Amino acid sequence: MEYRNLGKTGIKVSSLSFGASSLGGVFHSIRKQDGIKTVRTAIDNGINLIDVSPYYGDLKAEILLGEALTGIERDEYFVSTKVGRYWTNGEKSWDYSADRVIKSVDESLRRLKIEYIDFIHCHDIEFSNKQQIIDETLPALHGLKKTGKVRHVGITGLPLENFRYIIDRVDHGMVETILTFCHYSLNDNALIDYLDYFEEHDIGIINAAPLSMGLLTTRGVPEWHPASADIIETCRKAVDHCLSKNKQIEQLAVKFSVDNPRIPTTLVSTANPENLLNNIRWAEEYLDEALLADVFEILRPIQRKSWQNS
């Protein structure tokens, strides 16, 4: 496993990291023991960053992750979790107020059974009042940093332009990390345009969803996927081309995402230990440049075409 500096945090993270959303049964129901085994398989194989949120599975992901981490030495892993996005009475809710995020951190610490959170992120800032993030949420989280409850503070979201909006309006160092998803994958490499910007601001990049939330999979896109029909159809053509070459697009997609040294880490999510081992293997295999060129050409009509978060 390769380890890279995450911005100026002083932390080296594994190039492949674990997204714990699956532990909450976000995509389908899971077996508890499979989830626990997946977390321990990740750590045993050198993955040292685990990302989660109280939103994933209405607290279930954090609860199960806390159980899975019990008995593992704290210096073997880094935890990233989030504030601002929740489930309330069975419905999606958002609250980025100082009082709520401070309370949220304490709640996450209890569920995770740890004494501090390595990375705390404002979750999906496209749903927030951005001025509140600037004036209230980030200062509150930095207040928690002074207490030792959190080590580093960042923001997450789908539209890349929102990162620049926030970062341009706060003091240097207020945003230490960003978590972006579906923007450094085979069908959308828009993150490239922001690498210089993030590096100039000493911000660590966490990339997620190298399979574009299921678009780039042999099993096919999930029914809930928000992509348009042309994106889904074109991605399927790329999947079929890989199969015609006796290759899995999943391997190509994961390898492509982890192969850029300017992107410190890429999150993959599963609650199946065998699937996780496949992802680790794919990240370590060679990059088939000829197949990559073919897939890029197939995906060219929809390259960087995105969708709205929901």
Distant-in-sequence, close-in-space partners of 241: CB < 8 Å, separation ≥ 6 = 294, 295, 298
The string of pLDDT tens digits covering residues 32-88 is: 999 999 999 999 999 999 999 999 999 999 999 999 999 999 999 999 999 999 998
Residue 306 lies in a domain: no
Which position among 3, 55, 56, 77 bears the catalytic label? Answer: 56
The residue to which tokens 């000829």 are assigned: 290
The model scores a pTM over 0.85: yes
The residue to which tokens 């996450």 are assigned: 108
| Run means of pLDDT, 10 residues per run, the chain, 310 residues | 97 98 83 96 98 96 97 97 94 97 98 98 98 98 98 98 98 98 98 98 98 95 94 98 97 98 97 96 96 98 94
Residue range of the domain that includes 88: 3-217+249-287
Residue 299 lies in a domain: no
The bridge status of strand 204-208 relative to strand 177-181 is parallel
Residue 301 lies in a domain: no
Distant-in-sequence, close-in-space partners of 291: CB < 8 Å, separation ≥ 6 = 242, 245, 247, 252
Torsions phi, psi for 45 (to 5 deg): -105, 20
Per-residue pLDDT at 128: 97
The bridge status of strand 12-14 relative to strand 3-5 is antiparallel
DSSP letters spanning 128-146: S-HHHIIIIIHHHHHHHHH
The string of pLDDT tens digits covering residues 95-127 is: 999 999 999 999 999 999 999 999 999 999 999
Q: What is the CATH number of the domain that holds 87?
A: 3.20.20.100
Residue 60 lies in a domain: yes
Query: For the purposes of burial, counting CB atoms within 10 Å of the CB of 145, is it exposed (0-12), middle (13-18) or buried (19 or more)?
Result: middle
Per-residue pLDDT at 243: 98
- Structural domain tally of the chain? 1
Residue 297 lies in a domain: no
Residue 200 lies in a domain: yes
Residue 236 lies in a domain: no
Residue 73 lies in a domain: yes
Q: Structure tokens of 114? A: 């740890």
Question: Is 116 among the residues known to form the active site?
Answer: no
